[in-house]
């Protein structure tokens, strides 16, 4: 996984949790957990994405997402040689 992807995901979650906690304290976190709402949000988002693109494009985007989550294969010696 690319470090920027990881930082972006973690930072996003931290900002949401911080926003919840700063408004009403740690006890307010439980108020934001509702399984049906999570299912509706994720399911609705995926349904909207599938409806907006062809299946071929959607599967291609999913493959792109898996590429973003994998460790890049980088030859550091070659990269340094290109820079120098």
Output the pLDDT for position 77: 85
Question: Has this prediction a pTM greater than 0.85?
Answer: no
Sequence spans of domains, the chain: 3-83
Q: Give the pLDDT confidence of 60-70 residue by residue, as tens digits.
A: 888 888 887 77
Scanning 1-84, the segments in alpha helix (DSSP H) are 3-24, 35-52, 55-69, 76-83
Query: Quick one: which of 4, 9, 26, 8 has its CA closest to 17?
Result: 26
CA dihedral 75, 5, 53, 62 (to 10 degrees): 60
Q: Give the pLDDT confidence of 20-56 residue by residue, as tens digits.
A: 788 777 777 777 778 888 899 899 988 888 888 888 8
């Amino acid at each position: 996984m690319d470090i920027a992807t990881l930082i972006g995901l973690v930072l996003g979650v931290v900002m949401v949790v911080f926003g919840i906690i700063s408004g009403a304290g740690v006890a307010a976190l439980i108020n934001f957990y509702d399984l049906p709402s999570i299912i509706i949000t994720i399911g609705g988002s995926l349904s909207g994405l599938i409806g907006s693109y062809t299946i071929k494009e959607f599967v291609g985007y999913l493959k792109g997402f898996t590429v973003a989550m994998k460790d890049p294969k980088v030859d550091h010696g070659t990269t340094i040689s290109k820079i120098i």
